Each structure stands twice: as C-alpha cells, then as structure tokens.
C-alpha cells in the first residue's frame, strides 16, 4: 500500500477582516471562516513525541489570523492565496488546502466559499 501524505486539519478558525469589492464591505469587518489542511510528514513526531518534529499548528493559526485580520483584499481568492503562502512558509508543510467561507455574502445562502490547493 502506498502511503499518502500526513495531514493536519485546522477547522473553523473564525477571523474578522476587510474583504470584498462593494463599498460597504470596505469599511466594516466581517467574519471569515478559515479551514486548512496542511500536508506534512508526521512520522518522526509520531515516534518522538517532540514538537520540534512536527508543524506547530498553534503557530500556524497565530500567523494565519494575523494575515487575515490585516487583510484589505477585495477578493476572497487573493486572501486564500495569502493564507496558503503563509502556511507554506512553515518548515515541514509540503502542501496546503485552504477553504475560506464568507458567511452571509449572498442573500439566501449560508455562505460563499473559496477553496484552493497549493
């Protein structure tokens, strides 16, 4: 059996930011829900029980929160790319899936989401 990459999932990280193209979206922060799948090799950490041998997901959340919070992007796609770039800057992260939900973006829909893989 071929082994696929190990994954760290970060689910439902809620951050407020400025994102959108409409004038009203440019002045008021709104909630964005961030979901991440970090591709990495967790085998060494699984054997050693040592934080230095894995990806520190608390640090990832802290940096991603800072990036999103300071966002002034118009497009969710651009924000998703910035989040992906932030995650890929961590040692040990070989790939990432970023899903950003913008609750209430469209009337009648719970949210609109952008999903990218890098």
Report domain extents, the chain. Answer: 6-117
pLDDT at 1: 57
Averaged pLDDT score across all residues of the chain: 95
Interacting residues of 104 by C-beta distance below 8 A, sequence separation 6+: 30, 110, 111
Q: Does the pLDDT value for residue 90 go beyond 70?
A: yes
The whole-number average pLDDT for the span 50-65 is 97
| CA dist list (Å): 57 to 38, 45, 107 | 9, 13, 34
Third-level CATH fold of 6-117: GTP Cyclohydrolase I, domain 2 (3.30.1130)
Q: Which pLDDT band, with edges at 50, 70 and 90, does 4 fall under?
A: confident
Residue 9 confidence class, pLDDT cut points 50, 70, 90: very high
Burial bucket for residue 19 (CB in 10 Å: 0-12, 13-18, 19+):
buried
Q: Active-site residue 102, yes or no?
A: yes
Q: Exactly one of 7, 31, 47, 102 is catalytic; name it.
A: 102
Q: Where does 1-118 have alpha helices with state H?
A: 43-48, 57-69, 76-88
- Please write the tens of the pLDDT for every residue from 32-48: 999 999 999 999 999 99
pLDDT digits (tens, 9 = 90+) for 20-33: 999 989 999 999 99
């Amino acid at each position: 059996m071929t082994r696929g990459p190990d994954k760290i999932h970060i689910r439902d990280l809620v951050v407020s930011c400025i994102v959108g193209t409409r004038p009203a979206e440019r002045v008021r922060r709104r909630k964005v829900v961030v979901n991440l799948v970090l591709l990495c090799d967790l085998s060494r950490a699984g054997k050693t029980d040592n934080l230095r041998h894995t990806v520190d997901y608390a640090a990832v959340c802290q940096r991603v929160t800072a990036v999103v919070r300071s966002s002034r992007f118009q497009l969710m796609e651009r924000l998703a790319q910035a989040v992906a770039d932030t995650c890929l800057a961590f040692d040990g992260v070989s790939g990432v899936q970023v899903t950003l939900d913008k609750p209430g973006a469209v009337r009648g829909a719970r949210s609109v989401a952008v999903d990218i893989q890098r």
